[in-house]
Chain A
């Protein structure tokens, strides 16, 4: 095997976290940095993304399941099946990763989301916690993360309105949010017709709607690194595509322009990392483990050893788990004994919608991923759960992301009894095409003993390695929460003047084909002690001190909020820790 010259820092993955880590380290240290990316370089012309078939239907920006699938089953007693085509979640590929095709909604987590275990017991007692839960506090708090959230909002460039500025509640912002130290760097975006109606109705019902915080610029914006982006044009090609004018914040439009100028950084594409090569520590823990570098296949298929002093694992949740398992780093989680940590607390943020059929045309082709209105009146523990059969909650909202006709055609009221094809179906679908929209819910998914990652025992990838396996299914807490929210959303839809409403059918078994969200979390979770998590509170691996694991794989539970702001806040914090503490004295951080 060919061995390359050693690099000081090796970063696996060039999405939000990998590029941010490269940016911070290259700005403040002289270290040589090598980034390895499995996918392609950034597309030359993002304007080609304005093609629904190629990008929305054939999913050109997504991980290729023919080489990188996962297997899935509902419980340890079931047989697994491969996810042959991605549907419920859509991991990205290529430079920029999943951040290239995201919807750019940018909410912080609710403060009690970091302390779900203790706060639930404090308010309701231990018995309120669902059976078989594996909820544990993160070990860090919202207050500790607040300055990093603020920094990420300035650098990524967020439009929004504060609802709790230094303790002062401000109408029009999210009055239930955690205390903020700063206002958003840009005012909120404009809001299309349907979400505007939603907001007005929600307000009249006594709720507290606010314009989404989003990485969609409401005006031209220059961030502290000097990177300028134009205001959004609301072209409607946003989620599942890159931004054609570079308005929506993406790793390649926010961090890459800075990283590209740094001579100390090398970015290699078409690289499939196979293993993190490491020396194991001894049993007693007197001598810790040490990563020596990685082996990978380059684009020609040659296997190469890349030595490194410091390794940062910065892929999507699935890749972080898979690579640690294949490399034999950490102790695999065993749900029957509760021992081991690698793979535990797999969560998938809840998302579903209620379709409402309106009287008037909605001009659904205009919009952007983040443009809409939300309300947090049923989020987290904002409302009293004493008399409902579930804990926690989520946000209800209406967003107009831009609807395209292949995916947007044929949504009809269930009360209308027509076949799924033919003249009647066509006529009704044309009439209602621009009159149907979605009230959406994004909710917290609590962790359970039986929802986890491990390696599959049947299915392999083309290199002969076992696929990552997700063992996941919904439980009473999710089903009841969804039922409760569904009813609220139907009520709001009717109050908006909907002629007809399709409630969500409900949460039954986990459905691989229904898009839910690309917010899969856990498996390499953080904890204050090594028996409870894979990484410590600095996202440093408990067993291998020169290995850091960053991304949503370190979240002990899912929030209702989209994870990217928290992912980035944690990455800024880890970058600071590496620069200010670790590099001065390499070893296990206190």
Chain B
């Protein structure tokens, strides 16, 4: 059995929002005691070292800066960890019969053998110590791996973690949606469709669970023993 790994974060470094949202989401988190300034988030797939590297890389891909919050506030690393632990991570929905062909033209999509779990685990070995580098050094390192399968996954998963429904662990407190003015699963725009020509119409966002008033099944939780 896998040794339990936690992502240990300083509550101060990530602010109250994440504490609140993660706490609301899963009772097995240890953040209820607000006086405890450390958050221990149980990881499903990553080791703590891996999680720190992925969090750091996601924060360079989608940084926290003048244009608003980024991967850190959205909890992107938690999102990626859950996806990898779920059916997508083990390639449940990909055709995985050999022969594989890593040299296939781009137009045929990813033709390699590695599952997303394997691609992360293998690829992250080359990024050992990444989280301890300066932002400039981190960017330089990412530019070096820009054309790898791992980077393609990192970039894609970071965007997903920024903008997914919060039920999947990312987009905490809908920070991603607020960046772009997306209102989430709004039940009806019937009266607004033709009303706001040429001007921004920005209804207050809601999550799917808020919209329908019950728990939503997230596919990545399928592989978890509760």
B117 at the A/B interface (Cβ < 8 Å)? no
B93 touches A65 (CB 8 A): yes
B186 touches A365 (CB 8 A): yes
B189 touches A66 (CB 8 A): no
Closest approach, in angstroms, between the C-beta of A19 and any C-beta of chain B?
Answer: 26
Chain A CB within 10 Å, residue with most, of B139, B167, B180, B219: B180
B33 at the A/B interface (Cβ < 8 Å)? no
B62 at the A/B interface (Cβ < 8 Å)? yes
**Stretch of B1-9, B17-25, B34-42, B107-115 with 4 or more beta carbons under 8 angstroms from chain A:** B107-115
Residues on B with beta carbons closer than 8 Å to the beta carbon of A410: 159
B160 at the A/B interface (Cβ < 8 Å)? yes
A51 touches B67 (CB 8 A): no
Identify which of residues 124-142 in chain B touch chain A, using a CB-to-CB cut-off of 8 Å: 139, 142
A244 to B190, CA, bound (A): 14
Per-position contact with B for A259-273: 1 when CB-CB < 8 Å, else 0?
000000000000000
B196 touches A83 (CB 8 A): no
A4 at the A/B interface (Cβ < 8 Å)? no
Closest approach, in angstroms, between the C-beta of A486 and any C-beta of chain B?
Answer: 19
Per-position contact with B for A446-476: 1 when CB-CB < 8 Å, else 0?
0000000000001110000000000000000
- Chain A: interface secondary structure? loop
With contact pairs A65-B93, A433-B181 given, residues A361 and B199 touching in the complex (Cβ less than 8 Å): yes
A430 touches B180 (CB 8 A): yes
Chain B CB within 10 Å, residue with most, of A87, A234, A360: A234
Q: Among B109, B185, B218, which residue has its beta carbon within 8 angstroms of that of A83?
A: B109
A293 at the A/B interface (Cβ < 8 Å)? no
- Chain B: interface secondary structure? loop
Residues on A with beta carbons closer than 8 Å to the beta carbon of B62: 421, 426
Residues on A with beta carbons closer than 8 Å to the beta carbon of B11: none
A420 at the A/B interface (Cβ < 8 Å)? yes
Residues on A with beta carbons closer than 8 Å to the beta carbon of B107: 509-513
Closest approach, in angstroms, between the C-beta of B50 and any C-beta of chain A?
Answer: 20
B165 touches A513 (CB 8 A): no
Residues on A with beta carbons closer than 8 Å to the beta carbon of B192: 363, 366
Q: Among A48, A64, A233, which residue has its beta carbon within 8 angstroms of that of B188?
A: A233
A430 touches B95 (CB 8 A): no
Residues on A with beta carbons closer than 8 Å to the beta carbon of B211: 47, 50
B189 touches A360 (CB 8 A): no
A361 to B106, CA, bound (A): 34
Chain A CB within 10 Å, residue with most, of B60, B92, B94, B211: B94
A422 touches B94 (CB 8 A): no
Residues on B with beta carbons closer than 8 Å to the beta carbon of A192: 193-194
A48 to B104, CA, bound (A): 36
A191 to B194, CA, bound (A): 7
Closest approach, in angstroms, between the C-beta of A507 and any C-beta of chain B?
Answer: 11
Residues on A with beta carbons closer than 8 Å to the beta carbon of B149: none
B144 at the A/B interface (Cβ < 8 Å)? no
B199 touches A360 (CB 8 A): yes
Closest approach, in angstroms, between the C-beta of B204 and any C-beta of chain A?
Answer: 13
Please give 12 more A-B residue pairs, beta carbons under 8 A apart, in addition to A48-B216, A60-B219, A421-B62. Answer: A52-B164, A52-B165, A65-B95, A82-B95, A83-B108, A237-B185, A363-B201, A366-B201, A409-B159, A421-B142, A422-B139, A430-B180
B interface vs A, CB < 8 Å?
60-63, 65-68, 70, 88, 91-97, 99, 101, 104-111, 139, 142, 146, 155, 159-160, 162-165, 167-168, 176-177, 179-183, 185-190, 192-194, 196-201, 208, 211-212, 216-219
8 nearest CB pairs, A to B? A50-B185, A69-B95, A405-B163, A233-B188, A366-B189, A361-B200, A427-B67, A433-B180
